Structures are given as structure tokens and as C-alpha cells.
A and B are shown apart, each in its own frame.
Chain A
Amino acid sequence: MFRLPIEKLDDLFAAVAAAQTLYLPADGKDGRASYVKWEEGVKLSKALNTVRSAKDHFFPQTTNLCDFNMNGKNIEIIDNRQESENFVIFGVRACDARSFTILDKVFLAEPVDTYYATRREHGTVITLACTEPEENCFCSVFGIDAASPEGDAACHITEDALYINANTEKGEKFIESVKDMLTECGTEAVDAQKAQTAEIMKKLPFANVSTDYFRKNTLLDIFNSEHWKKLSEACLGCGTCTFVCPTCQCYDIKDFDTGHGIKRYRTWDSCMYSDFTKMAAANSRNSQVERFRQRFMHKLVYFPDNNNGEFGCVGCGRCLSRCPISMNIIKVIKTFGEE
């Protein structure tokens, strides 16, 4: 474990940014945090988390897949993929860090999504332990420890210092690159902080929510439950939950005619939208209750079924904060759990 005096934090960012692009959460004019490219003067946000998740770094909202030139009956296909440059994302919380390993299971499964894979390969994830988890946090429900985040290297910030410890080879390389600013140290300060955070975690309102119901009941029983109708009744189908969700990975592929060529791009999509499954002849999910059910069945049943029991949720709490009708995955889990 290594230590950096807190007043040297901006120097650390400057040193990292001199070698590769550095992204970190910073407060915008509206006071909300989002990931920005670090440059002189940018301050690390003290917010618990960013409004949007960190998935943009590996699965951007839009990706140009390829281009086409149309010439009479002929088509030219242009593969304009580029190697990503190395970059660092600093300050990723434990929930978002886990979301990357969930996205890996989708995009790195055969056939590998090369757009995602190159970004993943070139990105170094430096996580930051939470010290003040809030009432909407429920990462512990999914076995995530907010005080000991995953990622290539994990940081803990105390009043007077930043502590960093590598989890992977990439993390070791990162520490090596800024080693002259760090001093080796013991784990006492970090251990004390972890113990303190653990106490707060225990008292959070959703700390004891149980997902057992979704392990003990069959796919068809859960799918055919009466609960879905009531739970989805007020759903507006706005898709906000899917856009702020760090694990939502559904996408659309569209073409755009620029006037001098066709751009094919991949863009985030939402299973909450009515045209998501619409075909020329039919639509397999015609009503909002079916679309609502799909989203939660996917996270709580289908994804675990296909991935050794791992749930497709990390408990970041963004959908709790953002849903205009205050419906969310916790209400779904609790409604079934109380059966």
C-alpha cells in the first residue's frame, strides 16, 4: 500500500494526465457530478457518485461501427475502427467497478465485441472507496463492499492522505508510473476507514434486502406472477432507469445518411421503449407491463441463469434517485420477497 499526502492530489492528477488521458468525476455548474477529462483546475468531486454511470468509458452512448459509400449498385464498406489510446478513469465507485465485470460477460463473450474490447484493454480503472454511502445505496445486497472496491487499483481518501493499492498488473503499472510521489505505508488508516464505512453500511435502509426469492423460484413462476401488473402500473416507459443504469447494455444499430456517405452507429437503447421489439408484422412485447417485466426479469433471473447466478444489478441506486414515478428494482425485489 502506498500513501500520497492529500495536498499533492492535483500533482498526482497532473502527472497521470501528462502520460495519458485522465477522466474523473467533477462537479458541473449545476452541482451534479459527471466524468470529465482532467485538466489544470479540475477538482475531484466529493459527490457520492456521478449522475450517469461510468459505462460510457467502455460502452459509449454512440459508437460509429463502420461507414458505407453508395455508388449506383455498388457499396463500399469502410472499417474505420481505431486503436484506443491508453486512458485512466479515476474515482470509480465499487458499484460501477463491478458493473464493468458484468458488461465484460456480455461484450467479451464470443463473438467478442471488438469496440468494447479495445477500450477495456486500454483503460485503467482506479477505484475510490466510499466513506459515506447514502440511503439509496444497496451494493451490499449484491455482495459488493463499497469500502473495498475492485478495479485495477483501489484508493481510499482520508482527511490527510490518499492511499492506493494495486489489484491487477495494470494497477501495479499505474502505481509504478507515479511511484516517486508515493511513499510505502501500512494499512492501519485504511483499515480504520473500512471499519467505519462498514458500520454505516449496516445501518442503511436496504442493507438487509434479500434476493433469495429469485434464486428459489422458477423462471416461469416469477414471469407469470401477478405482481408485475401492479408494479408496472405507473411506469411511463421513459427509459431513464436504463440510461443511468451501469449494467444496462441493450443497444440499437442505426444508419445515418450524412449526405456524403452512410454512417452506421451503435447507440444505447432501452427495453422500456415500445418499438424496441417492434417488427413489420408483430411486436413480442406490446404492453408496458411486458416491457417492465423484461427489464427486471433480465437483471434478476435471465442474466443470473446465464452467468453462474450473478445478478445483473450492482445496487448503485441511480434508478432509485432518477425514476420519475419512484419505481425501482428494490421495490420489485421487496414485493416478491414479501410474498
Chain B
Amino acid sequence: MLNETLIPKLGVVTDIRIDTPDVKTFRVVGTDGKKLFEHIPGQCAMLSVPGVGEGMFSITSSPTNKEFMEFSIKKCGCLTSWLHMMDVGQQITVRGPYGNGFPVEDPEKLKGKDLLFIAGGIGLAPLRSVINYCRDKRENYGSIQIIYGSRSKDDLVDYQEILNEWLADDGITVNLTIDREQEGWDGHVGFVPNYVKELTPDISKTVLICGPPIMIKFTLAGLKELGFKETQVFTTMELRMKCAIGKCGRCNIGNKYVCKDGPVFRFDQLGELPNEY
């Protein structure tokens, strides 16, 4: 019988990391202990708990990780609440990879470029895959700068990895910010869009941005003021999905399906589409 993409594979949760009060990172492998499938940074997978629901999540780990996949998931609805209650050893279903991913190997787009990552809150999840991919293939990319902000220090996703690996990596610059003053935080305080303007990044950089819509809106406006063009800025979108293969009809923005034609879009592409997201 033909392979059917709507029928998932089995995955096992082998590790659960508590990132923030409402974000956990789940490590998933197949029942044989091996990685379920290969992916491109920015691609997604459908995770499901039968009887609870199925949802699209970006694959947070880098494809250079050959052992397992990771998903950083914020608790915000029915399925994610269930996922947050899981213990290690729980089986879930997985299908994918879906979507286009970031054009990391395209010399016209990301390869060889100086990269600026801008993330807010859980928006770091899809970018982490690209960041670690570029760190593992360091010779293929120019400078790497990461501007990341969250509500508070406790809401910074991947904080331990940022401290232990990214900040310790000489080749990359990390600028962290939190929304309000907090005891035990001597870093920058303020919203991401303003921080980006303060830092005045070089306008030759290629930007990858992900975060709450309001953050993206103001950051993009700020980047334009600094002289960035829409053709330099990539983002990754999220809309409701059921099939993940462009057939169920709900995640479209104009004539593009986020699940199939996205989730990664360049802002000049989004400009040609209805503002319905």
C-alpha cells in the first residue's frame, strides 16, 4: 500500500527540559532510538497525542544533530497542555518534515552572508535550529549576531544554552534584553524593537526574525528606518493547520499555504500577499 503522509510515525520522548514557566523542550526519537527523519532548519513537524489533537511545531534542533530532534513548546492550548504533562518515555506521533525551511544553503540568500537573528519569547524556537546549524557550519557564514528578548529573565528560552554555548562562542555576538527591570539581571532592559535600533546593526546583514506579531511589526519598521530592505529580512509564519500538505485549506495567506509554501517567507514576498495573518 502506498505511503500516506497523513498517517504518522511513532516517536518517543527521551528527555524533557524545563526552559521557562511555560516552555519545555522535548527530545524525540523513533521507537528504534534513532532520529525519525532529516530536515532543513525552519521546517516543522506535526506532533500528536491521539485523542487530544495534532499540531504543527517547528523543529528546534539543528539538522546537524544526527541523534535526535528537539521541539521547544509553549503551553498555550489543549494539546500543548497535554504535552507539558508528559513524562520521559511517553510515546507521541510524529509526521514530517513539512514546509520550505530557511534557505541556509542558498548563496543568494543566507549562505556566506553576515546574519542577524532577532527573536522574541518562544520565537527563538525556530531560529535556534538555524543558529546551531550555522554554528556547526561556521566556515559557510559571515558574522552572526543574535538579539533576543523576553518578558523576564525566567522567560528566556534556551537560557542555559545561550549562557554556556552561544555567549562562550567567540564567533558570535549575543544581545539579550528583558521587558522590565528584574533582580539578578544586569543586562539590557527594554523591548526588542527599540533595542535593535539602539544597537544599529550593519545594514549589510541578512535578518531572520521571529516572535510575536507586534514585535515583528515594530522591529521591521525600525529595520527599515535603519536602511534595511524587505528583501533582506526573512521570517517564519504560523497559522492553524490540519493536514500540513496544502490540502485542508486553512493556513493560506492569499494563494500561498504556510504549511507547504512557507513557513519561511521573505518580507517582499509577504508584501505581495493579503495582510491576513
Contacts and interface: CB of A to CB of B under 8 A. Distances in A.
A252 B249 CA distance: 9
26 contacts: A66-B6, A68-B51, A70-B51, A73-B91, A77-B8, A79-B1, A79-B4, A81-B1, A81-B4, A109-B247, A117-B2, A219-B255, A220-B274, A250-B249, A252-B242, A253-B243, A255-B50, A255-B51, A262-B51, A271-B249, A276-B250, A279-B238, A283-B240, A302-B252, A305-B255, A306-B255
Interface string B197-231: 00000000000000001000000000000000000
B76 A280 contact: yes
Given A70-B50, A111-B5, A276-B250, A75 B91 contact: yes
Interface centre among A224, A257, A277, A281 (most CB of B within 10 A): A277
B240 A278 contact: yes
B80 A280 contact: yes
State the 8 A-B residue pairs at the shortest beta-carbon distance, nearest first. Answer: A280-B77, A250-B249, A68-B50, A302-B255, A262-B50, A305-B255, A280-B76, A262-B51
Interface residues of A, number: 54
A114 B1 contact: yes
B2 A251 contact: no
Interface string A108-133: 01011111010000000000000000
B21 interface: no
B255 A277 contact: no
A301 interface: yes
B250 A302 contact: no
Given A111-B245, A252-B248, A302-B254, A74 B6 contact: no
A268 to B, nearest CB: 11
A281 B238 CA distance: 11
Main DSSP-derived SS at the A contact region: mixed
Contacts of A257: 51
A298 interface: yes
Interface in B230-269: 238-240, 242-243, 245-255
A278 B251 CA distance: 10
Interface in A250-277: 250-253, 255, 257, 262, 264, 266, 269, 271, 276-277
Interface in A89-116: 106-107, 109, 111-115
A277 B254 contact: no
B276 interface: yes
B70 interface: no
Nearest to A303: B255
A249 interface: yes
A181 interface: no
A112 B274 CA distance: 28
Contacts of A106: 247
Contacts of B242: 251-253, 269
A2 interface: no
Interface of B: 1-10, 50-54, 76-78, 80, 87, 89-93, 213, 238-240, 242-243, 245-255, 272-274, 276-277
Given A251-B249, A253-B248, A301-B255, A279 B50 contact: no
B170 to A, nearest CB: 37
A73 B51 contact: no
A282 B251 CA distance: 13
Contacts, number: 129
A249 B249 contact: yes
A81 B3 CA distance: 11
Contacts of B9: 77
Contact of B276 (A251, A269, A276, A290): A290
A308 interface: no
A65 interface: yes
B247 A284 contact: no
B253 to A, nearest CB: 8
A277 B237 CA distance: 14
Given A75-B92, A249-B247, 9 more contacts: A70-B51, A75-B50, A77-B9, A79-B1, A220-B274, A251-B243, A253-B6, A271-B249, A294-B276
B73 to A, nearest CB: 11
B142 to A, nearest CB: 34
Interface string A297-324: 1100110011000000000000000000
Contacts of A156: none
Contacts of B238: 279
A68 to B, nearest CB: 4
A223 interface: yes
Given A77-B93, A284-B277, A220 B272 contact: yes
Contacts of B87: 73
B9 to A, nearest CB: 8
A277 B10 contact: no
A55 interface: no
Contacts of B77: 279-281
B254 A219 contact: yes
B249 A74 contact: no
Contacts of B91: 73-75
